[in-house]
Structure formats: structure tokens, C-alpha cells
A and B are shown apart, each in its own frame.
Chain A
């Protein structure tokens, strides 16, 4: 009798434990998405905006090149992802070149040849335009996240930050990287660090967000440091200047508008 009662209690206990475990797992998956979406909202406002990205390349610690890009960003209501128009301002040899980065609608325009070339998601990483729009990637749209746990890390300004540590896997063909690790600060949802991986699992670059200031209606990162993991001599800093909300018509985001985009 006691034995049967014990068995029944054990079964109930196991059932409750299973239900709790399943519920906890579901909550954790939901939490990972919430964290990623929360960090997306810190990086990007919901309204269209324009910014000037100043990229400085350091080779062996010494500044070598500077690239200046103007980026026009607008969230696509259908996909939830940002559409970007990138215009090269500096160096002089690249002035006037444009890139349209809109999901899989990717084009590069060269005013010298007066022609636009369609590029692949992978080719988007070639050149500096991919860095110009690095802040506007909405990870929650293109990636599936898993919460790996909590971790205390050091940020680019050598401050310790208590973070959620997430593993991101590409979920759409528009995802620029196949995998990333992501550290987001507890409570503030500030993105602190991202480590990007290639298809083969090699670390490509490590990105630290920094310069959190009031901009575009909230506290957002105003700069980033990108440490190249393939070329160990190369570090690129990015500063996001002149952020301003701007009404951007939808018809801008097409190939034929690229030759028409003019400096303000």
C-alpha cells in the first residue's frame, strides 16, 4: 500500500518537474528573444534617421585610413529589418559611391562606371559599407538566440559589465553572419560586445559598442570598435556623428535611386 502510494507520489512529482522544466525552458527561449529585441531597441530608434559614420583603420596601432559614410536608415515595416542607403564621402577616390543594403536587395553603384552591380549577402561584407550599417542590424529579425548564461565581461572602456551571454544563429538568408555571440548588459539592455563567426566557425571580428550617450531620443551607443580576428594587425573604430531623424521616402530604396542620391 505504502509502496503504491510512494509510486503515485513519485509519478506526480516527476510530472510536475517535467511541466516546470518545460515551462522554464520556454520562458528562457522567450527571454533570449526579449533580450535581443531589447538590445535592438537600444541601438536603433523606430523612426527613419541619418547618421555619418567615421571609420578609422588602425594597422599595428597606428591610424592608416579614414572612411566617411553617410547612412540613411529606415525600418521595413514588413520584415522588421533596417534598410540602409550608404553614400561614400571620404576618401576622395571613393566619393559618390553608393550601396543599397535592403534585405537581399543589395546593390553597389560606382559613379565612375555609372553602373550598379547586384551583390550577394556575403559580398556585402567586402568593403567598408558593411561597417557603416553595422549598428542597424536588427538581430531579433535575422537570428535565433539562445541564452547561454550570465557573464561578467570588460567593455571597450575597461569597465566591468554584468551581461547576458547569448548565442545567435542565422535564421534568414539576409543574415550577414552565420553565427554570433552577443553580450547584453543586465537591466539596461545595452549591447556591449558581439563576436561574429564565419560559415566555417572561424571568428571574423569582435565588436565592442561604446560611447553611450543621449541620441535619437534615448541613450544609445555612439561609437564602436571592431577588432579584426583574421588580420591581427587591424582594428577599426567607428564613430556615429550627426544622428538626426529624417523623413526618408520608400522609393529611395531601389537601384535606380542610387545615382540620384545627393548630399543634403
Chain B
């Protein structure tokens, strides 16, 4: 018995002795991972500041597959099946004295495609996104004059309060709405902003300097024109205030007047626990529905005949309509962030509107002129960056450092809740080095022949991109 006790004690001691080095080894293994060649504490210090300029040379090639047997035949020119862009993207700021700055943002494109001849003037295009002078008369006041990109909104997939968005996206390299904003035109305007501890006030006036023009297609985009017809074809005023009411609640209220229309809007966000942010973006104002709006614009710019309004039932009388994005983001322990949103666009197509749209072409014997007018409606919605349908769900996933450091995976889907058709896109972006980034993007549309996405001419596309920052 005593022998057994001695053995047990010896076993415990041996176990403890054996366990002690194991614990130490665990602690030491942390320290062993510290690289021997880390920068010395005496290494030259980094400058306290540096330019915020970002310049890069990009190359992108997109190959697209087209869908045959469309419910409504697509008018010419058909979408390109391949396109290539070589572009220089520039975002610079120069200080012009103590209180003045000059800002420039733009992209110079050299593009080739099977839809445009080469070499022609159509191969070169410059997108002048921003060019403005900024004056800071006091510590808390900023005045800007020139082409400025003011973007509002807290949602990712649809921003009802982003009032300056119509017609500003020229030739997107992605279907991701949150990235689309990176290459859009600003608006010629005079802006002023004042900040204080508990909020800010922003005022912007964008004058009408030209008349509205027809919607551009791949063949008739202007190459070195600043495109004020897209951005300054009517007088517009924006008044916005942000209120820092609490740490978790900073509402933003907006008033917008364009031509003869007025809209009001609000942006609300709040954290929910440690993983979730909930948000709501709303705008409302008096307007006709999307079909009437598109017909009116088509007739005004000479793209559609006057009789086109009889093609589809529409509501030309203005009434108060709502736009809404309601969503939440959720971040997991693995650093994956999901955004789920519901979009409501009251002026958009109802199920009946979609049914009318699909039936109109067949009823009139698929006449090319009718098909052009029907597709014009959808081009108009895209040009205005309005959802085509009333009810849409949007899901986005973003995973930084996925599997390996510097690999970012993004996936998104926009689902028409009326016909269950959808668009999806997946992107993988890898930072090869400080200067080089490569990316691959695949996208596709899915749905029945008589659905929003299943009726589109583009069925799938692959885009490869390389960027060299300098």
C-alpha cells in the first residue's frame, strides 16, 4: 500500500517535472517566432506625414458570354464580347498656400473591343472625375468650387440619398455598387461645409450649364469632353446636416431640389452589440414612375418618338414615392463581413410592369423599333443608377486576408424578389507586393427567360486586372 502511494507520488512529480518544460516551451515558442531581423528601434523614423495622392496604371481584360433567344431581342449595337482597358488612374492634391488646395481625380483610358474599330478616336477616353479648388477660411469651414464628387448614403447596394449619382458612372469594370463609385464623374458645383463638435452642415449648388443629352452607348461615348451634359443639365441644390447626438447614433438629414423636383432623405446607423451594424437609408419625393420618367427623357432628348408613351401603361402624374435601403452588417470571428440589405424602389417595375414589358414586343411582332424603346427603359434605369424593380435583396461578403495574407475575397448577389432572378459576382484580389495588385472577377446572371436578370443579353463574364501603384 505504502509502495503504491510512493509510486503515485513519484508519478505525479514526474508528471509535473515533465509538464513544466512543456509549458515553458509553449511560451518560448511564441518568442522564437519573433524574426531576428526586425527593424531596430534606432532605425530612421518615418516621416510624420506624406501625400495622400494615389496613382496607378491598370490593365483589365473582360470576356463576356451572351445569351441567345432573348424574350425581348436586344437592339444593335450588341454588347461587346471582349474589351480591354489600359488606364492611368490619378488622384492628386496640391497645396496652393496656407488655406488653398487644388484637387484632381481622373482616369485616362485606352480601350479596345470587338465592338469598336481600332485605331480610332473612340479608343481613347479621359474621365474627369474631379477638378476643384478648396478654400479653408477658418479651422472649421471649407468652400469648394469646381467638379466635386459628393456622395451620400450608408447602404452598399442602393443609395437613395446619393442624389448626385444619376448619369455619373461611365463604363464600369465591376457590378459591385460599392466599387462603382470609385470611377464616377463629379458635378460642377459650389459647396460649403461647416463642422462643429456635435455635427456638420453642408450646402451645395450645382448650376445648369447645358441641356440633357441622349444616353450614351459603347460607340458614342465622348472621349475628352468633360461630360457636363451628364452632370449639369439642370439646377440642383443639396442641404445636408449630420448630428452627433450620441456615440451610437449620428443621423444625417438631407434636402435636395433638382429642376422641379424636391426630395428629402435620412441616413441612420447604429451598432447592435459587438458584431452588427444596422442601417437605414431613406429618400422620398414627388415623381412619376420609372417608365414615365424614361419615356419623358427619351422624348426630350430625341431618342424616342412622341407616341412611345402608349407602348406600356405608366403613371406620368407625379406623386410621393419612397426609396429605401434597410440592412445590417455582421462580422465573424474569422474577419468575414456580411451585408444583407432590402431595397425598395417605389417608382420601379412592379410584377405587372414586367409582364407588360415582356408582352409588348411579342404583341407587336418583335418590331426592332419597339424592342429599342423597351430596352431604352432599362438603359435609362442603369444610366440613372436606379433599381429596375421595386423589391430587391442584396447580399455582400467581404473576407480580408482570406486563407493567406493580402488575399481579399468579395462576393455579392442582387436578387429580384418579384421573379427570383439574380445577378452575382465574385472577386479575388491579391496584393503581390507594395506596388502590384492582381485581381480576377467572375459574374453571371440567372433566372427565367421572362425575368429581370434572365432576360439580359449578358450571361456571364470574366475580368482579369493588374494594377501597378506608384
- Which residues in A have some Cβ–Cβ distance to B below 8 Å? 50, 52, 54, 56-59, 61-66, 68, 70, 87, 89-93, 95-96, 102-106, 111-115, 117-123, 125-127, 153-154, 156, 158, 173, 175, 178, 198-200, 202, 206, 208, 210-211, 213, 222-223, 225, 227, 231-232, 234-235, 237, 239, 241-242, 244, 249-251, 254-257, 260, 262-264
Q: Which residues of B contact A260 (CB under 8 A)?
A: 142, 195
Query: A114 vs B151: C-alpha distance in the bound complex, in angstroms?
Result: 6
Contact B140 A251 (CB under 8 A): yes
Query: A33 vs B403: C-alpha distance in the bound complex, in angstroms?
Result: 39
Q: Which residues of B contact A68 (CB under 8 A)?
A: 46, 50
Contact A120 B28 (CB under 8 A): no
Q: Which residues of B contact A70 (CB under 8 A)?
A: 48-49
Q: Which residues of A contact B51 (CB under 8 A)?
A: 95, 263
> How many residues of B sit at the interface, in one of the four size bands?
35 or more
Consensus secondary structure, chain B interface: loop
Interface residues of B in 258-302 (CB under 8 A from A): 269, 271, 273-277, 279
B106 contacts A by Cβ under 8 Å: no
Q: What are 21 A-B contacts with C-beta separation under 8 Å?
A: A52-B48, A57-B405, A65-B431, A65-B434, A70-B48, A89-B49, A91-B434, A104-B247, A113-B151, A118-B279, A156-B31, A173-B273, A178-B274, A208-B34, A235-B34, A237-B39, A239-B41, A242-B48, A255-B242, A263-B52, A264-B48
Question: Among the interface residues B38, B156, B250, which one has the most CB atoms of the partner chain A within 10 A?
Answer: B38
The minimal Cβ–Cβ distance linking A105 to chain B, given in whole angstroms, is 5
Q: Which residues of A contact B317 (CB under 8 A)?
A: none
Q: Which residue on chain B has the smallest CB distance to residue A226?
A: B34
Given that A54-B39, A96-B52 are contacting pairs, would A113 and B31 also be in contact in the complex, using a CB cutoff of 8 Å?
Answer: no
Contact B35 A263 (CB under 8 A): no
Q: Which residues of A contact B45 (CB under 8 A)?
A: 52, 241-242
Partner of A89, one of B31, B37, B50, B56: B50
The minimal Cβ–Cβ distance linking B106 to chain A, given in whole angstroms, is 13
B209 contacts A by Cβ under 8 Å: no
Query: A262 vs B269: C-alpha distance in the bound complex, in angstroms?
Result: 26
Query: A64 vs B405: C-alpha distance in the bound complex, in angstroms?
Result: 10
Query: A255 vs B335: C-alpha distance in the bound complex, in angstroms?
Result: 23
Q: Which residue on chain A has the smallest CB distance to residue B54?
A: A95
B437 contacts A by Cβ under 8 Å: yes
Q: Besides the contacts A61-B35, A95-B52, A263-B50, what 4 more A-B pairs have beta carbons closer than 8 Å?
A: A61-B36, A96-B91, A121-B271, A122-B275
Q: Which residues of A contact B182 (CB under 8 A)?
A: 112-113
Contact B46 A242 (CB under 8 A): yes
Q: Which residues of B contact A241 (CB under 8 A)?
A: 45-46, 48
Which of B79-87, B196-204, B365-373, B380-388 is found at the contact surface with chain A? B196-204
Contact A115 B195 (CB under 8 A): no
